[in-house]
Chain A
Amino acid sequence: MQRKVSGAKSVIVPITTVGKNYLPYVEYLNNRYIKYIDFVPTQILPTTGEGVNVPYYMYFSLSEKSGNSYFIQNEPMVRFDYSYNKGIRKPVMQKVSLQNSYIEVTDPVLIGKSVLLIFWYDLPEFSQRNKTNDTITDYFEVKLNNQTGRFEFPDNRTMAGKRFRNFFIPTGGITPSLSQCISDTDAQKLYITLQKGNYKVLDAIPLTLFNDVDKLEAVDFANIVFDFTYSYISAGGNTPISFAGQSVLVNATYEK
């Protein structure tokens, strides 16, 4: 089974009722081969609104592409929570119909909140098979140096145009440029977007998914490409930014 992923998209599902809450239609995921789905336990969503931070009282049903049958039906949401499954994700490995898929909610407390799901999918346009075993693990820092909540990647000529296999985003400590590295708590409020031209290869993915020190399996990319000039880290929600002046350190492994 090909475990590597090449694209990811965050999908926000508003909980409006006790019972079935259908997923929205997402153009990015239309006709895409979905590999895994993560439930992100967070109160701070990439957009405004309150997130659901515990995976209980929710059951997930995922429809196959035709919309006629469900190959995952009423699976407890906790199975998709990456903090519980330790990175051992439930394989999806097919095209799905989002607008026929739903989250069944059994607790009215969740009404008014939103569930954040990450869809990992195959993106052959911006990925490729391994061409060599030779890799380099380099680093770059994204300075969280403004109050706008959007922090652009630095210009990086060494890594521009490279094909990436893995990101590791450590938390805590001091970075090589002597900035304070973001804490574990702050990493949960930050989202990474990698863009190639106008296409969002990774779209608002929580940084915590790339801090895999306590996971059994890490997220590996299938040699993806992106533009440093269009990519950025954004702060979720509309809470005041408490981490201004700190840095996000990214250890990026790419094909030589």
Chain B
Amino acid sequence: MWKIRGNVDVVKFDIVRGVDEYFFPESVDFREKKINNITVVFGREENEREPNGNGYLIDNVEAPNFYLDLYDEDGNIITQNLSVSKLTPYSPTPLSVNKKISLKLSCLRYMGEQTGTILIYVSYSDKDAETNELPLNSINLSIPIEVEETKKLSDFISDYFVQSGKKIKAIASYSTFPFYLDITTFNGKVFRNIHKDLIAFPESSETRIQPFLVDDLDIDFRNSTISNNTNTVKTIDLTFYY
């Protein structure tokens, strides 16, 4: 069974020298919401930039130096010193929380010496839907994108598909290059800065079982964008399942 992601919020932790505990900010969308699961994204390519900034993501090899403490809203422990290697997008056992968490008590702990940024994606929803079926129909976009460029998805998809009002059930990419995806829907739901690793399909040396399933999104392709935060020109493949 795969969890359908009702909403996803990203928390950016800027790791600086001399600080080993990092608390969640109070101003997050999942405040007082039931958390489904948590995924942590590190840089997998040299000089991979953070979204909307000039900083760089901390390298994937640093994952074993990060630990996560989570407490529920009553102050009970959910996880204590959980190695973040278990929470990377390629882990077979994503952490299922199914609780509201205390933002005051929950924290990330770092034992290494690098500086940079890591991204924590928190999936939350009032509905706790699951499925074991992947949709059959799909449309593929091939998007050439320059260094540090942001492009609208509507420029690469046919007007016929946009007008047809298909509800999107899953998003995937076969590209190996990092990118960020911003999805806006007509009913106001927004997925910001979705990293490639969250929607990547299996590569030769990696395995993955958790597709990026969404809850029948009515995507506004004119206001949805993709951005290249690396120093090289790319062509990105993006597939929408409906």
Contacts of B207 in A (CB 8 A): 86, 214-216
A136 at the interface (CB under 8 A from B): yes
Asked, given contacts A173-B64, A173-B112, whether A218 binds B80 with beta carbons under 8 Å apart, the answer is no
A174-206: CB near B (< 8 Å → 1, else 0) gives 111010010000000000000000000000000
Minimum distance in angstroms from B55 CB to a CB of chain A? 22
Which of chain B's residues have a CB closer than 8 A to the CB of A178? 111
- Tell me whether A138 and B86 are in contact in the complex, defined as CB-CB below 8 angstroms, given that A166-B93, A178-B111, A181-B64 are known contacts: no
Minimal beta-carbon separation of B131 from chain A (angstroms): 18
Specify which chain B residues have a CB less than 8 angstroms from the CB of A137 in the assembled complex: 78-80, 82, 95
A170-B86, A173-B111 known; A218 vs B78 contact (CB < 8 Å): no
Does A133 touch B at the CB level, under 8 Å? yes
Scan A135-174; emit 1 where CB is below 8 A from any B CB, else 0. Answer: 0111100000000000000000000000000101011111
Q: Would B85 and A174 count as touching, CB distance under 8 A?
A: no
Known: A138-B80, A139-B82. A213 touches B111 (CB 8 A): no
- B109 in contact (CB, < 8 A): yes
B177 within 8 A of A: no
| CA distance in complex: A127, B64 (Å) | 31
Shortest beta-carbon distance from B64 to chain A in Å:
3
Q: Is A255 an interface residue (CB 8 A)?
A: no
Decide: A87 near B92, CB < 8 A? Known: A137-B78, A170-B86: yes
- Tell me the nearest residue of chain B to A176, going by C-beta: B81
Is B16 an interface residue when CB atoms closer than 8 A count as contact? no
B140 within 8 A of A: no
With contacts A175-B111, A176-B111, A178-B111 known, is A136 near B77, CB below 8 A?
Answer: yes
Cα of A141 to Cα of B203 in the assembled complex, Å: 34
Instruction: Report if A233 contacts B (CB, 8 A).
Output: no
In the complex with contacts A212-B93, A216-B207, A251-B82, A133-B111 CB distance below 8 A:
no
Chain B interface SS verdict (over half): mixed
Q: With the chains together, A210 CA to B209 CA distance in Å?
A: 18
- Nearest A residue to B72 via CB reads A134
Question: B94 CB to closest chain A CB, in angstroms?
Answer: 11
In the bound complex, do residue B81 and residue A213 qualify as a contact, i.e. CB atoms below 8 Å apart? no
Task: Tell me if A217 counts as interface (CB < 8 A to partner B).
Answer: yes
B225 contacts A by Cβ under 8 Å? no
Nearest B residue to A86 by beta-carbon distance? B207
A249 touches B (CB below 8 Å): yes
Contact A217 B92 (CB under 8 A): yes
Closest chain A residue, CB of each to CB of B209:
A216
- Give chain B's interface residues, CB within 8 Å of chain A: 61-65, 67, 76-83, 85-86, 88, 90-93, 95, 98, 109, 111-112, 206-207, 209
User: 30 A-B pairs, CB-CB below 8 angstroms?
Assistant: A136-B80, A137-B80, A137-B82, A137-B95, A138-B77, A138-B79, A139-B80, A139-B81, A139-B82, A166-B93, A168-B93, A172-B64, A173-B62, A173-B64, A173-B65, A173-B83, A173-B111, A174-B111, A174-B112, A175-B111, A176-B67, A212-B92, A213-B91, A213-B92, A214-B207, A215-B92, A249-B83, A251-B79, A251-B82, A251-B86
Q: Using A133-B98, A251-B82 as known contacts, list a sample of 5 further A-B pairs with CB atoms less than 8 Å apart, ordered by residue number in A.
A: A137-B79, A176-B109, A212-B93, A213-B85, A217-B92
Nearest 5 interchain pairs by C-beta: A173-B64, A174-B111, A170-B83, A173-B65, A137-B79
